[in-house]
Amino acid sequence: MTPGRLLSRLGLCLLLLAALQACRTTQPATTPSPAPGAPEAVEPSPGKPAMPPDAPLAAESRWLGELFAGTPVQVSGERDGSVRLVVPMKYAFDAPAAAAPKPPLQAVLDKLSQSLKRQPAARLQAAPPSGKASAERMAAIRTHLAGRGVPSWRVAAAASAEDDQVLLRLVAPAGGLRKLDDATLPPAPRVVPPPAAAASSASR
């Protein structure tokens, strides 16, 4: 082989190697899929950082998030370690002044009572919509939870800045919580019905 052909082939090889290297460096990064059965990360509230994955209530946040996935109930873990749940007004109380919780809100409170029983040091903050019936609605929330074994002193009233939703926060006091693994919590159902259907099935 003549020196000219040898140099030509060598140049071609160098061009191919450069092209392959360019393909590798420009290939978009792919997000690894979670392992089968692994809980998905709970999305944080808009504009707020996510809950640390090792927070004591992280497993409760994932459990609640899986239970109410696909429903109007919003669940998010917050940076301070608390779990935030937002229930739209039309699923919580009959407007404008009814005090009794509707079945969807009752279903949410029932699940929160289970979390409170697993975490004896945790507290629940509840913020019903402001208005004339605010105090009566807060009392009804406490009464419902008391019927599920949660004493009223573990449920604190919080001011609400919204009139179209009920805000519930599972609060983690420093140093007083048990850190649970996902395997210790009840499995979430494969198909989660809407809140109204979930409440009717839970009351049977």
Alpha carbon distance 98, 140 (integer Å): 10
pLDDT (mean) for 175-199: 57
**15 belongs to a structural domain:** no
Alpha carbon distance 166, 93 (integer Å): 9
pLDDT of residue 97: 77
Q: Who wins on pLDDT, 172 or 66?
A: 66
pLDDT, tens digit (0-9, with 9 covering 90-100), for 133-146: 899 999 999 999 99
Least confident piece of the model among 20-34, 57-71, 149-163: 20-34
pLDDT of residue 175: 56
**37 belongs to a structural domain:** no
**26 belongs to a structural domain:** no
pLDDT of residue 131: 79
pLDDT exceeds cutoff 70 at 191: no
In which domain, by residue range, is 147 found?
58-174+189-202
pLDDT exceeds cutoff 50 at 25: no
Question: Which residue in 107, 119, 128, 111 sits closest to 82, CA to CA?
Answer: 119
Q: What is the CATH number of the domain that holds 122?
A: 3.30.1330.60
Contact 112, 170 (CB under 8 A): yes
pLDDT, tens digit (0-9, with 9 covering 90-100), for 68-95: 999 999 999 998 899 999 999 999 998 7
Helices (H), the chain: 3-26, 58-67, 103-118, 134-146, 195-202
Q: How many domains does the chain have?
A: 1
Q: Is the peptide bond before 96 cis (omega within 30 degrees of 0)?
A: yes
Residue 39: pLDDT band with limits 50, 70, 90: very low
CA angle in degrees (0–180, nearest 5) for 110-193-109: 15
pLDDT of residue 108: 97
CA angle in degrees (0–180, nearest 5) for 61-102-153: 60
Q: Which residues pair with 167 in a beta bridge?
A: 86, 127
**150 belongs to a structural domain:** yes
Q: Which two tokens stand for residue 55?
A: 């927070």
Q: What percentage of the chain carries pLDDT values higher than 70?
A: 60
